[in-house]
Amino acid sequence: MKLIDTHAHLQFKAYDADRDEVAKRNSKELEAVINVGASLDTSKGAVTLAGRFDNFYAAVGIHPHHVDQWNNKTFSDLETLAKKKGVVAIGEIGLDAHQYNDYPSPDLSAQVKILHQQIEIAQKLNLPVIFHCRDAYDELYQYIKQRQGKISGVVHCFMGTWEQAEKFLDTGFYISFTGNLTYKNNGALREIAKSVLEDRILTETDAPYLPPEPYRGTRNEPVYVKMVASALAEIKNWSLQKTIDITAQNAKDLFKIL
């Protein structure tokens, strides 16, 4: 098997100048790429890419940052989009309590409302969920715990504690790691990765964000997932090929691809 990037955003503006070139290169090098939506427009873009490249897939969803975009029509449009060929998940959706610079204070109650409605779509269509979370892992866990056995999915770009990771794992969710696993000051995150069971671990890039250590400060790409896998192999004391096989199979199992 070859590597699978379970979370990228090649439909985002960062690739407007050379999207086709980047997509072709990454399609050739990887077994699969899942491009993940964050708004209705970027969800549509992910579906478009999935229709153009055989090993590209899409996830559709409204990120908590875009809670103000949500209305009844958004719900209807998203459900219609989720039925398109190549869509393998609802996401990225979730909770974000972090206070960003030049950004309104987060409204968790509003975020929970659209989270609930999007999970309804996932359950109706029998699709897994890709969760975004920042500074709200305990709140997200309580929400998942109430629905244990009724939803499946992954907490992407995990940056919480081991105690929080363990709770998500106990509910049957996967934990995914990005290029920040390679950062020199992220020893605590590597310790968490060491403890995640091999049948519940995934690799991703979150491209164009969070490029691995050698490329920090530049635009990330799905092919750089190899560096995430290499870091994970070292952490787990696995061979690189074993790491690729495990994470690719986990992606196939969760997203029902290939």
Q: What is the rounded CA–CA span in Å between residue 24 and residue 53?
A: 8
- φ, ψ of residue 209 to 5 degrees: the values are -90, 170
Q: What is the rounded CA–CA span in Å between residue 199 and residue 1?
A: 16
Query: CB of 207 within 8 A of CB of 10?
Result: yes
Binding-site residue positions: 7, 9, 92, 132, 156, 206
Query: CB of 35 within 8 A of CB of 22?
Result: no
Binding-site residue positions for a divalent metal cation: 7, 9, 92, 132, 156, 206
Query: CB of 211 within 8 A of CB of 224?
Result: yes
Any bridge partners for residue 94, and if so which?
132
> Which helix or strand (DSSP H or E) is residue 5 part of?
strand 4-8
Residues 255, 91, 174, 185, CA torsion sign: positive
CA triplet 63, 67, 68: central angle to 5 degrees? 140
Token code pair at residue 51:
């229709």
Query: CB of 31 within 8 A of CB of 6?
Result: no
- Cβ within 8 Å of residue 49, ≥6 positions away: 10, 11, 23, 35, 56, 58
DSSP letter (8 states) at residue 182: G
